[in-house]
Every structure is written in structure tokens, then in C-alpha cells.
Amino acid sequence: MTLYSKIIGTGSCLPPKRVTNHALAMQLAEKGIETSDEWIVSRSGISARHYAEPDVQSSDLAVEASRHALEMAKLAPNDIDLIIVATSTPDHFGGFPSTACVVQRKLGITNECAAFDVQAVCSGFVYAVAVADSLIKSGAHKNVLIIGAEVFSRILNFEDRTTCVLFGDGAGAMVLTAANEPGILATKLHSDGRYADILCIPGNASAGVVAGSAFLYMDGPAVFKLAVSVLEKVANEALKIADMSASQIDWLIPHQANIRIMQSTAKKLGLPMENMVVTVDQHGNTSAASIPLALDTAVRDGRIKAGQTVMMEGVGGGFTWGAVLARM
């Protein structure tokens, strides 16, 4: 019998603290940094973002999103036999113990299932889905909890208006299960380390302290140019694997980073803008959490229905990019 993987649950979590462009502009003005709602919206499409409180970690957001996904999937925590967390802001310095193991503990999972983190920045969730899909198809795992969770507000330089206005915190989750019919139709992943420097945190640990900068750095124009180029290509690669055309996509869910990149991708694929799920305006760029947040929003408000085809794709530091084509 051929095994496939199918999405049976989604969930999300945004911290209660919502920061509008106006509020952020007021905060930055106190530091002598000029920006405005109009400036931010015109360049990114972002109107607000959410920030976690200082005592809230990526795992806390991940756990809440996971509980919603498990509830939709009608599964108990101990029904999960693999946890994959995509994050660039893990709970612990150095990334261990993994945030996935922390989530396992906080969810009360006692079945000794495997748990690990994936680091592909904003492409992390797509990478995690591709890995989970392969492991389910191999028969190694049956019910996989996949999470994208970030507290990017911790790594933002609030004296750099070109980056600090773009990012926010949040988590999204998905449950993939073994099925007799295709759910994940195709995946395709890429990376190119030659572009590692255009989106990165340039610092590193030395003698117990950070050597260099611990803040996110982004060459905005370079990232924009590369993102627009690779997102169309990887979407078409996934479609080719599935022997499908762009016209068969019901919903496009790109990484929620910049509305102009998203609109350009939809246009190149020949998709109407109303067939693209947009949540970047409400939560900004939440890195690995952005795609599952958008997916859960559209599932729960009824836009995405059973049987429809969804293209999820992202780009991130590394430079990484990838796509997942799924039938709901």
C-alpha cells in the first residue's frame, strides 16, 4: 500500500500585545528615528505586528498553536510520534535543548517520540513539511506535529528602521498524518550559500559572549530581487513534480514578508490576487511562523476548503527557498 501524508489540523498563536505602525513610530521617535504608518505600509504592506512579553519564549507560542492544531486533528498529544519545530529564535542559546524537545515536555508528551528543530529561517516551515512528508511516506512516522515559532522581536535593532518595522512574533502549527490518498502533492527545496550575507545575524559566540552583532541584518534590495526570482521558479518546479499547472492552484500562501514580493509572485504565476492569502498586514514578517499562521487563518475563516489545492512557498536567510503543494 502506498503511503501519503495529509494535513488534518492547523493552529496558530499570536501574542496579545499588538503594536500598530503608529505606536511603533511613536516609540522610534523617542530615539530620534523617523518613520510613519504611510512609510511602512507603502514599502511592506504591514500595518501591525505582535510582540511577546519578555518571559514568553518561542516554545510557549508553539505550544498554544499546537494545542489548536491537535484539537482540529482530533488527536491527543501522545498520538504524535514526531515533532519538528522550525525556528530561528530557539528558547536556548546555541539551540539546545531543541525547542522541539521543550514543546514535547510542555505538551505533556511522554511517549518518547522524536523531536528536533529545523533552521532555514523564513523557509523553515516549508523545509519542515518536506522532511515530515518524506518520513511519513517512508513509514517511519504516522502523526507529525510541525510548528513554525518565532520571537523575532528579541533580535531586532530598534535603531534600524529598515528592519525593525518589518518583523513580529507568533507561531503556527500543522498536523500531518499518514493517509491512503495524496495530501502533500509535491515539495521542492533549494539553498544557495553564496547569498548568506544578505540576510543574517552576523555575530557568533566567543568565550561566553556575543562577538559581533546579535541583531538581524538584511540587505533589503538584494533580498527583494532574489525572492521575486526564486519564488516563481520553485512554485513551477513543485507544479511540474505534481504534473499540474498554476491554473489548478486554488490558494497561494507565500511567506508573509512583503506584500510587493507576494503580489509579484502571484502575478508571475498568473493567479488572481484574490486567490492569495494575505495576513502580513496584521502580523508582519513572523519568519518560519508566517506560512502556518496564514494557512490556519484561511482554514478557520472558511476560505480554504477540503479538496482545494494550496501552494505554500517561502524564502529565507541561508539563502533558502522552497515550496509545498498540498491538497486539503
**Residues identified as active-site:** 122, 255, 285
Residue 310 in grid coordinates: 494550496
Taking CA 73 as the corner, what is the angle to CA 67 and CA 74, rounded to the nearest 5 degrees?
A: 85
Rounded-to-integer distance, Cα 266 and Cα 56, Å: 35
Residues near 128 by beta carbon (within 8 Å), at least 6 away in sequence: 84, 85, 86, 118, 146, 147, 148, 288
Q: Which residues pair with 167 in a beta bridge?
A: 285
Give, to the nearest 10 degrees, the angle between helix 99-106 and helix 58-73: 60
User: How big is the chain by its Cα radius of gyration, in Å?
Assistant: 19
Q: Are the C-beta atoms of residues 173 and 69 closer than 8 Å to each other?
A: yes
Q: Are strands 209-211 and 217-218 parallel, antiparallel or unpaired?
A: unpaired
**Which residue from 106, 86, 129 is spatially nearest to 238, judged by alpha carbons?**
129
In total, the chain counts a number of residues equal to 328
Alpha helices (H) in the chain, listed in sequence order: 21-29, 37-44, 58-73, 99-106, 124-137, 161-164, 220-241, 259-268, 280-283, 290-300
B/e letters for 98-134, b = 16+ CB within 10 Å, e = fewer, are bbbbbbbebbebeeebbbebbbbbbbbbbbbbbbbbe
Largest Cα–Cα distance of the chain, in whole Å? 64
